[in-house]
Protein backbone atom coordinates (compact mmCIF):
# COMPACT_ATOMS: atom_id res chain seq x y z
CA UNK A 1 0.00 0.00 0.00
CA UNK A 2 1.00 3.62 -0.47
CA UNK A 3 2.72 4.69 2.73
CA UNK A 4 2.76 8.43 2.14
CA UNK A 5 -0.65 9.69 1.02
CA UNK A 6 -2.12 10.21 4.50
CA UNK A 7 -5.43 8.62 3.51
CA UNK A 8 -7.09 5.47 4.84
CA UNK A 9 -9.57 3.52 2.73
CA UNK A 10 -12.84 2.35 4.25
CA UNK A 11 -14.38 -0.70 2.57
CA UNK A 12 -18.17 -0.62 3.00
CA UNK A 13 -19.55 -4.14 3.42
CA UNK A 14 -22.18 -3.61 6.09
CA UNK A 15 -25.31 -3.97 3.97
CA UNK A 16 -27.71 -6.90 3.73
CA UNK A 17 -27.29 -7.48 -0.04
CA UNK A 18 -31.01 -8.15 -0.45
CA UNK A 19 -30.92 -7.77 -4.24
CA UNK A 20 -28.14 -10.37 -4.37
CA UNK A 21 -30.15 -12.80 -2.29
CA UNK A 22 -28.60 -11.94 1.07
CA UNK A 23 -25.29 -12.80 2.63
CA UNK A 24 -21.98 -11.09 1.99
CA UNK A 25 -22.15 -9.72 -1.51
CA UNK A 26 -18.46 -8.83 -1.41
CA UNK A 27 -17.54 -12.51 -0.97
CA UNK A 28 -19.25 -13.56 -4.20
CA UNK A 29 -16.77 -14.84 -6.77
CA UNK A 30 -15.79 -12.92 -9.87
CA UNK A 31 -13.46 -15.11 -11.85
CA UNK A 32 -10.97 -16.73 -9.49
CA UNK A 33 -11.28 -14.05 -6.80
CA UNK A 34 -14.00 -12.47 -4.70
CA UNK A 35 -15.42 -9.04 -5.37
CA UNK A 36 -13.72 -7.91 -2.17
CA UNK A 37 -10.35 -9.13 -3.40
CA UNK A 38 -10.76 -7.19 -6.64
CA UNK A 39 -11.58 -4.02 -4.70
CA UNK A 40 -8.63 -4.50 -2.33
CA UNK A 41 -6.22 -5.09 -5.22
CA UNK A 42 -7.27 -1.89 -6.96
CA UNK A 43 -7.67 0.39 -3.95
CA UNK A 44 -4.96 -0.94 -1.63
CA UNK A 45 -1.98 0.58 -3.49
CA UNK A 46 -3.67 4.00 -3.43
CA UNK A 47 -4.01 4.37 0.35
CA UNK A 48 -1.99 3.96 3.54
CA UNK A 49 -4.27 1.33 5.04
CA UNK A 50 -7.61 -0.40 4.49
CA UNK A 51 -10.35 -0.89 7.10
CA UNK A 52 -13.40 -3.08 6.52
CA UNK A 53 -16.83 -1.99 7.76
CA UNK A 54 -18.92 -5.14 8.20
CA UNK A 55 -21.50 -6.36 10.69
CA UNK A 56 -21.78 -9.83 12.19
CA UNK A 57 -18.99 -12.30 12.85
CA UNK A 58 -15.70 -10.68 11.77
CA UNK A 59 -13.88 -14.00 11.49
CA UNK A 60 -15.42 -14.66 8.08
CA UNK A 61 -13.04 -11.98 6.76
CA UNK A 62 -9.98 -13.33 8.59
CA UNK A 63 -8.11 -14.23 5.40
CA UNK A 64 -7.97 -10.56 4.40
CA UNK A 65 -6.03 -9.52 7.52
CA UNK A 66 -7.83 -6.19 7.84
CA UNK A 67 -9.37 -4.43 10.82
CA UNK A 68 -13.11 -5.26 10.75
CA UNK A 69 -15.36 -2.66 12.37
CA UNK A 70 -19.13 -3.03 12.88
CA UNK A 71 -21.55 -0.11 12.52
CA UNK A 72 -21.49 2.24 15.49
CA UNK A 73 -25.13 3.16 14.79
CA UNK A 74 -27.54 0.23 15.35
CA UNK A 75 -30.26 -0.98 13.01
CA UNK A 76 -28.50 -1.44 9.64
CA UNK A 77 -28.62 2.30 8.98
CA UNK A 78 -27.00 2.12 5.55
CA UNK A 79 -23.71 3.35 4.09
CA UNK A 80 -23.85 6.62 6.01
CA UNK A 81 -23.54 4.58 9.22
CA UNK A 82 -20.50 2.86 7.76
CA UNK A 83 -18.92 6.18 6.89
CA UNK A 84 -19.52 7.45 10.43
CA UNK A 85 -18.07 4.23 11.83
CA UNK A 86 -14.93 4.64 9.75
CA UNK A 87 -14.45 8.25 10.80
CA UNK A 88 -14.88 7.41 14.48
CA UNK A 89 -12.56 4.40 14.25
CA UNK A 90 -9.87 6.55 12.65
CA UNK A 91 -10.28 9.31 15.23
CA UNK A 92 -9.65 6.74 17.96
CA UNK A 93 -7.10 4.47 16.32
CA UNK A 94 -5.34 6.60 13.70
CA UNK A 95 -5.62 10.15 15.08
CA UNK A 96 -3.02 11.50 12.65
CA UNK A 97 -5.17 10.52 9.65
CA UNK A 98 -7.25 13.47 8.49
CA UNK A 99 -8.89 12.06 5.35
CA UNK A 100 -10.81 8.86 4.64
CA UNK A 101 -11.82 7.36 1.31
CA UNK A 102 -15.04 5.34 1.45
CA UNK A 103 -15.84 2.73 -1.17
CA UNK A 104 -18.48 0.03 -1.57
CA UNK A 105 -17.13 -3.49 -1.96
CA UNK A 106 -19.20 -4.49 -5.00
CA UNK A 107 -17.32 -2.50 -7.65
CA UNK A 108 -14.47 -4.57 -9.13
CA UNK A 109 -13.29 -2.01 -11.72
CA UNK A 110 -12.34 0.96 -9.56
CA UNK A 111 -10.08 3.49 -11.30
CA UNK A 112 -6.43 3.28 -10.34
CA UNK A 113 -6.29 7.06 -10.08
CA UNK A 114 -9.32 7.32 -7.78
CA UNK A 115 -7.61 8.57 -4.63
CA UNK A 116 -5.15 10.82 -6.42
CA UNK A 117 -7.78 12.65 -8.44
CA UNK A 118 -10.21 13.02 -5.53
CA UNK A 119 -7.45 14.33 -3.27
CA UNK A 120 -6.20 16.78 -5.89
CA UNK A 121 -9.72 18.12 -6.48
CA UNK A 122 -10.45 18.42 -2.77
CA UNK A 123 -7.22 20.24 -2.05
CA UNK A 124 -7.60 22.36 -5.17
CA UNK A 125 -10.98 23.72 -4.09
CA UNK A 126 -10.24 25.84 -1.06
CA UNK A 127 -12.36 24.78 1.89
CA UNK A 128 -13.80 21.64 0.31
CA UNK A 129 -14.53 19.02 2.96
CA UNK A 130 -15.67 16.23 0.64
CA UNK A 131 -14.73 15.07 -2.86
CA UNK A 132 -17.19 12.69 -4.54
CA UNK A 133 -16.81 10.49 -7.61
CA UNK A 134 -19.00 10.91 -10.68
CA UNK A 135 -19.26 9.07 -13.99
CA UNK A 136 -21.38 10.13 -16.91
CA UNK A 137 -24.27 12.07 -15.41
CA UNK A 138 -24.39 10.00 -12.18
CA UNK A 139 -22.84 10.89 -8.87
CA UNK A 140 -21.70 8.12 -6.53
CA UNK A 141 -22.18 9.43 -2.98
CA UNK A 142 -20.61 6.42 -1.17
CA UNK A 143 -17.42 6.82 -3.24
CA UNK A 144 -15.92 9.89 -1.66
CA UNK A 145 -12.99 11.40 0.18
CA UNK A 146 -13.99 12.84 3.55
CA UNK A 147 -12.52 15.04 6.24
CA UNK A 148 -12.45 12.77 9.29
CA UNK A 149 -13.35 15.67 11.58
CA UNK A 150 -16.89 15.64 10.14
CA UNK A 151 -17.63 12.68 12.44
CA UNK A 152 -19.29 14.66 15.24
CA UNK A 153 -21.56 16.50 12.80
CA UNK A 154 -22.50 13.24 11.12
CA UNK A 155 -23.29 11.48 14.40
CA UNK A 156 -25.57 14.34 15.44
CA UNK A 157 -27.34 14.24 12.08
CA UNK A 158 -27.88 10.47 12.26
CA UNK A 159 -28.94 10.35 15.91
CA UNK A 160 -30.88 13.61 16.28
CA UNK A 161 -32.32 13.93 12.76
CA UNK A 162 -32.48 10.28 11.69
CA UNK A 163 -30.38 11.23 8.65
CA UNK A 164 -29.84 8.26 6.32
CA UNK A 165 -29.26 9.64 2.81
CA UNK A 166 -25.68 10.52 2.01
CA UNK A 167 -26.43 13.22 -0.56
CA UNK A 168 -28.86 15.01 1.75
CA UNK A 169 -26.19 15.23 4.41
CA UNK A 170 -23.34 16.20 2.09
CA UNK A 171 -25.46 19.05 0.66
CA UNK A 172 -24.64 20.93 3.85
CA UNK A 173 -20.94 21.03 3.07
CA UNK A 174 -18.49 22.30 0.48
CA UNK A 175 -18.29 19.35 -1.91
CA UNK A 176 -16.46 18.91 -5.19
CA UNK A 177 -17.31 16.27 -7.82
CA UNK A 178 -14.68 14.53 -9.94
CA UNK A 179 -15.86 12.87 -13.13
CA UNK A 180 -14.56 9.74 -14.86
CA UNK A 181 -15.51 8.66 -18.41
CA UNK A 182 -17.91 5.76 -18.89
CA UNK A 183 -16.19 4.46 -22.04
CA UNK A 184 -15.09 1.79 -22.68
CA UNK A 185 -16.87 0.94 -19.40
CA UNK A 186 -18.01 2.68 -16.25
CA UNK A 187 -15.24 2.25 -13.64
CA UNK A 188 -17.91 2.49 -10.94
CA UNK A 189 -19.95 -0.43 -12.24
CA UNK A 190 -21.31 -2.29 -9.24
CA UNK A 191 -22.74 -5.77 -8.90
CA UNK A 192 -26.10 -5.45 -7.15
CA UNK A 193 -27.82 -8.50 -8.62
CA UNK A 194 -26.71 -11.97 -9.74
CA UNK A 195 -27.02 -10.95 -13.39
CA UNK A 196 -24.59 -8.09 -12.73
CA UNK A 197 -21.92 -10.63 -11.88
CA UNK A 198 -22.30 -12.21 -15.31
CA UNK A 199 -21.92 -8.79 -16.92
CA UNK A 200 -18.88 -8.11 -14.75
CA UNK A 201 -17.30 -11.36 -15.95
CA UNK A 202 -17.76 -10.25 -19.55
CA UNK A 203 -16.34 -6.80 -18.83
CA UNK A 204 -13.34 -8.28 -17.08
CA UNK A 205 -12.59 -10.65 -19.96
CA UNK A 206 -12.88 -7.85 -22.52
CA UNK A 207 -11.17 -4.94 -20.79
CA UNK A 208 -9.03 -6.29 -17.95
CA UNK A 209 -7.52 -9.39 -19.52
pLDDT tens, position by position, 109-163: 999 999 999 999 999 988 899 999 999 989 999 999 999 999 999 999 999 999 9
Say if residue 97 is exposed, middle or buried (CB neighbours under 10 Å; 0-12, 13-18, 19+): middle
pLDDT in tens, 15-51: 654 444 466 889 999 888 999 999 999 999 999 999 9
Helix axes of 151-160 and 79-93: crossing angle, nearest 10 degrees:
140
Contact 7, 47 (CB under 8 A): yes
Q: Which residues have C-beta within 8 Å of that of residue 116, sequence separation ≥ 6?
A: 46
Domains within the chain, CATH numbers bracketed: 7-207 (3.90.550.10)
pLDDT of residue 19: 45
pLDDT digits (tens, 9 = 90+) for 81-101: 999 999 999 999 999 999 999
Look at the pTM and tell me if it is higher than 0.85: yes
Amino acid sequence: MNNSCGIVGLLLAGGGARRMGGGDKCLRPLGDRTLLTHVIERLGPQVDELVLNANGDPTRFAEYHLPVVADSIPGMAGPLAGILTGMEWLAENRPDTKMMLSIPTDGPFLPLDLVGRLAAAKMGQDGAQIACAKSGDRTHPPIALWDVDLADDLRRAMVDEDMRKIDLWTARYDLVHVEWPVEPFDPFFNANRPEDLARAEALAETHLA
